[in-house]
Structure 1
């Protein structure tokens, strides 16, 4: 006759299975909830990126259409040999490029030859280049709007090309093309925390926050697509596109998918979402780290396990109480049976409790009042590397105490045994049996039996080695961030040199052109010698600027001297007089001429005045008949120098940030000039201010302390 299984065992199996099902369901629910939250965040991020991309394209979409209607553009296509007409179109395109911020504009005839371009005066000019093999030209010359992203054939720089046919009297005369650079967008992506990727209809990544992914494909490129890409030189000379190390995994019916990949020699698990841009033929992929999803699932599993454990303990406790109540009502004759049943129940409860203690991740250790170990659980044995047989009965010093901390651990052990344990626990370093160190937190409570007698001490030991390592990595990260800040300072100083050297280098170029013209025209020797002297003077000035910037970095190298401030003002005005005459701007000097003298660096102070006068000239570019006033006058214990223009003035809301680094209102400005000027003035012990009248005009002033003349 077969033996039937004990119904009690079946119930326990069902309870255990139900508990596991509840725990698993909690983890799955938390994971799905976090995935939904992350997916919604990805949708919002994708919408923002798509809005930015479309806005960038729509911002420049009108340019080729508007330029194709310009009469000079159509006239040049009919008369391509007219030099004056070509010059006007070049200037028109240069103005459009400077106003709109486009990378370039150029005009191509029906044969694909470039007639005019916004960069006509640069070494990388498009003028004279043939682009007949480019898809955007082929589409536009057939009367369609051309749209193409690729590397430039002339400059090698990537960009989005928008082409529009130039039509007149029902015929297509040529093509106007505008090039838009997406590199600023890619730079913004690289500064973000989560990777963003943009790929074309061939699956090739051409814009990415991860540089290692650029010009790689998400799938093998077909032979036909590869021939098309190479024939049109879409990505320069590249004829091979390796497949990205991407492994995708779908989770349910959510539009997002899990992306397993590697970047910068580390594995990445990302939640990704694709957003197609059909009007451009592109696909945008935004991602976010899966770490929070995994953490949410793990946390839900732990909390559910604790809740189920507490529920089971409550049920067990209720069952024991119920049995005790029933046993008290049982007759004396059933005492032996009751004792036997209760003993069996206690053994089962003890086994259950021991199984729970053995499954804990926290180490448990019990000691008697003299410090002898009377109980350890498997978690503690795994933490120290010693078996329970090796630890039970041992007295201090214990084998896992760290040899370098024996005195400290002996002192902490004595304080615990004397009842002076810290309620918030204490940190302790121990040595694993195999030799590696383990950092722990120890919490101790009295061990009291059922009769209320103190039997020893129970300690919970938590392994915090991973937490300590994470803190160490965070400190390393802070060090790297400080290093990045220093590199940023170096970059700012490089920008300072570039900004300050621009003026003498432009003067060098102008005087060199003048000298070449004088030499070709066989001008008088004294005129040629004068131009060459100016070149030597500007070269010396550029060298002095480099020396002064180095001295500005290291004040010990500064070359300060006693200067006549009016002489400094007059020399700075003389440097810019040719440019002022060229632009038709008058410079009025209003100097006290009272011999005010200051202690400073002549070149740096002249550079402050040159920058301020240049800013005034830019502010008056729409008023070529205006004037600039350059004045100096006494002010308390110093001298005040003012550069005033007749421009539109400075809005009130911009005056607080006008001296901030990289703040500029000019599309081609670096935003460093005024910041550098104020820094130089403050290095000379002075201060700098700005005033703007309600009717227009701005006045930049700086005040320097004067020095008393020395006795003869």
Structure 2
């Protein structure tokens, strides 16, 4: 066998690989993890200790409860066994007496003697009674051992007496004994003395059958008092309960008025061999204190919780300290990386003006290494020799704390002798105690920035010179404050330095907004992104300034000013000369319209003369006829009146023709008025009828009923219709078309389209040769005409007239297959009409030859 020393050596050698693995694993962990594990070890130990204490208390408590439960169960079963043996013994004695009664070995007197001896020896029995089969009392002996005439009376007042036609416990037991022919125990009930009792009825069976019963009545309280062992009653309370679990009797009598504490341990067994619903219950109480009431337990828990809390606090403190250390290391590394990567040079000096720190950027700027600068006092090697005095003065200002807040511009010399411009900012160095221990200076190379600044200054000067030389007024106004931020020379020449001129050019919109801001102290643009406003393009508009009597073409745009404010820029160009030219052109166009009408009437002169010749000839004929008949005195008064009326009609007809032509060619200002499409068509057709009859061209007009009123100049619309009808007639006549195709169709109908909305369409359709495609694309050009003697202003005027009424005009050829069979000119005049219904629109048709 191995000795104790050898066994220890073997154990130690077996544990060496495990220790090495643990040591290697521990070294691989970071310091933070090692601290965490070092803290978690005691915490886990305390928690395990607390769990062990709780489990120990719980185990001991459960073990005690089990022991007490077993004791209660054992004592209850002992009491049950004792009562059971007593009841069986009594039952056997009663069966013996009953057998003697049946065999007539004893009579009533001898029965009383035996029953007295039986009752005196058994204090739990209240009385023994002999009843006949008809429930008649033969003999009755009380617990005292003597007969009593009051026992088991048949008057129905004794609940112990079986009474026919009743359902008391005694009667039910009597019937069961008669039927079963064996001893029967009754259910518990209250007797004449208000004691809880039960009976055992032994049937008397002879040769003739059922001869009655022998009744022994037990007191439950006496049975429990005399036959529960004393040692059992002293250990645990024993009680008898009925079927409703009401306590009938108990070995422990509670104090009056006090509530009985419910036992924590119970054990129930039936009262055998009676089995009549009575239950024998043993009760037990826990002697030990529970976990909740155990002071020692709570002290252990409190100490464990306190230890856990202290360990958690220590762990949190270590974790916070580790976090601070990591944050400090990260901050140090970050600042070092930032200082090493930044282009700004950093230099630290102590209170004696000795350089204590320089970053790599400072060394890169000056060309000197860190070793060449640390510990140096003024004059520093990067000072130019010709600026020693000035740099020394700046150094004194730094030491005295009088450095300018905006930094000082200095000249620095590199190690190779080159010079560059720099800006230096100085601030005091404060230690953790709040005491100054030096100065920190940051230096930035501004050579390039200075060059860019000079270039920007020159560029700004050139840009300002260009803006000042513009003929257009340029102004920039702050939207929120209403402040004029910029104005060029032209603006100042026309409006001065007043921002009201900007508001006039902006159409008073900005002025009203600024006014509302001043009144309500709110920002209308606070909810808008300035980028969205500045991305909006300019919207040109023409503004008339009454005080200057000038027209301006104004273009506005929102922009972000140099200080971040939202501003509006306006560029206003003087267009007064252009507006005058447009007015002159409009007057010339009006004259051209009148000229066009005169030319139309000139072209129709022969037709008009022919038209006037008819009524004038008729008037001459009527007058000559009347003169001849008056000279011959061959005319009646009625014939003279009729001739005069006809003459007046012809004269009126000639006057209407002249009046209509005069109104058509009369020069007047365009006047828009409510006009009827039907009357416009009638007048145009009547004027064009002269030319159409001359050229032998028929016209068919279709005018829809219930058309809305047109807000137009009727003379101009008549001019358009007349021009289109005359062109159609000329196309038909010049093409020498047959009579079947020498007609024109004029239609006026209401329409509604998604593009144009509600409008009335005038269309002129002819059956002529149509128009070539190149003519359709150029026919509205000025002075373009397909006629040899045309001036090329008719269709252009028609287009201008229609567009001035917010309408559109178009031309298209009509095809039959690939052949052109006509041409249609149509123009629209906008009106407010509902969408067309499904039913057709009634048309008014008129035909003029």
TM-score by length of 2: 0.27
Q: Which has the higher contact order (CA 8 A, sep 6+)?
A: 1
